[in-house]
Amino acid sequence: MSSSSDEECSDYPRYRDRPEWKDVQPITQDDGEYPVVAIDYSDQYRDVYDYFRGIVARQEKSERALQLCTDALTLNPANYTVWHYRRQILKHLNSDLAKEIEYISDVIGEHPKNYQVWHHRRVIVDWHGDGSLECPFTEEMLRADAKNYHVWQHRQWALSKFKMFDGELEFTERLLEDDVRNNSVWNHRFFVLSSTKEQFSNVLADREIDFVITKLQIALYNESVWNYARGILLYCDSDGPKAKLLKFCNDIYGKGDHGEHSIYLFMFLADNSVEDIENGSGDTNTKLTLATKLYSELALKYDIIRTSYWNFVTQDLRRRFPSSMVE
């Protein structure tokens, strides 16, 4: 904290000047005799944290201690020790947890990328035993930042904890309408499916591949969609959905205007050919020729920033599957 904070809070009553706090012995921070880089804390910061250390030392858990924690967290909302002690006070006082959820909502609104505030909310909501506010709250937070990792993590925890998956796929669809390239939404959609289905049925996989194709028609260069499709196919025990996606890819590749192609389309077709060879499906030489051609096009024209990698993949392919058909 810089000394400029003193000017902002010049009218703030210091704890050391409050008669009701005279019974507490403040404890100053011990940085050692020769601190390497002494932090220039404001007078208010020193005052609040000296008294915080004082109440921790005497293990006081009271309403005034709770207010002191609030003041300490206003100055430093990332202080895990203060949050931990605050929770001890709340439990000791049997405090109104609904009120605490209101408080932490306000703090998160000011500090949405702070690990400690989200952890505190999770603990309090867990104690409260009611997750009904979590989806509306996280949805509101996502409107401000649709890729905030902390928000997504909390939402997934709440969905799992309170079994609130109904309507969640529709929620992801709305967000993808806003931004089809949001990897967080694609990840969340896969999380919802994998959390609610013991196994991916053929009908579900077929539906999801149809959904993927509609999004690829909008954003063929979007890696998130391709990764999602691979995940769906990985858990699918039917060849139908994969065949449908391969037809879509081959139709695009067959048009010949490769300059408009996505590198992820090339990768998907090449990797599929290699998988077919490994599984003994189809003509090996034909598959090898196609895979080598695609990897070479990536190396020489479409993904030259990773030329060395694609050359390595091609060489490894020749080593694993020697054939006179592979030049």
In this structure, what token pair is assigned to residue 28?
């100053």
The beta strands (E) that lie in 20-108 are given as none
DSSP category for residue 265: H
Determine whether 113 is an active site residue: yes
Amino acid at 150: H
- Of 294, 253, 297, the closest CA to residue 273 belongs to 294
Q: How far is the C-alpha of 237 from the C-alpha of 229, rounded, in Å?
A: 14
In this structure, what token pair is assigned to residue 163?
């079994």
Which one from 22, 91, 99, 113 is the annotated catalytic residue? Answer: 113
The HSE-up count of residue 199 (CA atoms within 13 Å, CB side) is: 5
User: Is the Cβ–Cβ distance between 69 and 82 less than 8 Å?
Assistant: yes
What totals of helices (H) and strands (E) does the chain contain, helices first? 16, 0
Q: How far is the C-alpha of 158 from the C-alpha of 132, rounded, in Å?
A: 9
User: Helix (H, G, I), strand (E, B), or coil: what is residue 200?
Assistant: strand
In this structure, what token pair is assigned to residue 146?
């649709």
Q: Is 94 left (phi over 0), alpha (psi -120 to 50) or beta?
A: left
DSSP category for residue 236: B
- Of 31, 38, 32, 28, the closest CA to residue 1 belongs to 38
DSSP category for residue 9: T
By annotation, the residues acting in catalysis are: 113
